[in-house]
Amino acid sequence: MKKRTPKLGQHFLTGQWAARALTGAIAVRPGETILEIGPGAGALTKELLATDARVVAVEKDTKLVERLRIAFAREVASGKLVVVSGDVRDVSPETLGMKQYVVAANIPYYITGEIIRMFLTATYQPRALALLIQKEVADRILARDGKESILSISVKVFGVPNIVAKVSKGNFSPPPSVDSAILLVDAVSRPFSSATDEESFFKVVRAGFASKRKFLLNNLASVFGKERAAAALVACDIDEKARAEDVQLEKWKHLAKELLLT
């Protein structure tokens, strides 16, 4: 996606229209801070600052940190832009002093899932995330082929995902090997009343997806027992020959309750 340096495996965003589209998708509200992950050369940073919101940009590459501070010296001096040197995975909204914020990012493919999970499960969640990610991953999160995954269920249980735009590989320098997409995860919320409930829900989801080749019943039976798993499927009106990828979010919620109550 954006190029920091070859060793970090990123690509500079050159399609300024994509930066504008991502900024528009986040629809920042008064009083919110924008947390930008991996600003790179600042193409997205420029558009985010145009919203007049305060931007906190976390960049791992120290050379790019200095370039950003020089390029946006006026905004840094005024406090509109704070450039943090470090890996976003080593910080948290609390340590950055943010409670009301949104996330805007052009992130490396290899940490996409980790970044999404990090913020959706954070103590202080963002209201929304707008992410420029690999198109294939965005499609998988939306389950466009009708097949769910642990990733898609994990995102949908916390928010509402939507693909804003496709961004072809030609909008980056050097171009990556695949196309990207702007993914918006909006209406982020905390659906569980406790950490125990959240852990229990994902225990069921992980069990269900343990083996893609097996029926959901068999996967669940290995953790909860065949009789208990079968009864839960009946209660949730799920076919005994269904696979985990065929089950949508609301059914997973019902299934978790049945397995944890029986």
The whole-number pLDDT of residue 46 equals 97
Q: Which residue segments constitute the domains of the chain, with CATH numbers given?
A: 6-186 (3.40.50.150), 195-261 (1.10.8.100)
Tens of pLDDT along the chain (262 residues) come to: 343 333 445 678 999 999 999 999 999 999 999 999 999 999 999 999 999 999 999 999 999 999 999 999 999 999 999 999 999 999 988 888 888 999 999 988 888 999 999 999 999 999 999 999 999 999 999 999 999 999 999 999 999 999 999 999 999 988 999 999 999 999 999 999 898 999 999 999 999 999 989 999 999 999 999 999 999 999 999 999 999 999 999 999 999 999 987 5
The whole-number pLDDT of residue 167 equals 97
DSSP 86-124: S-GGG--TTTTT-SSEEEEEE--GGGHHHHHHHHHTSSS
pTM: 0.92
The whole-number pLDDT of residue 185 equals 98
The whole-number pLDDT of residue 7 equals 42
The whole-number pLDDT of residue 9 equals 54
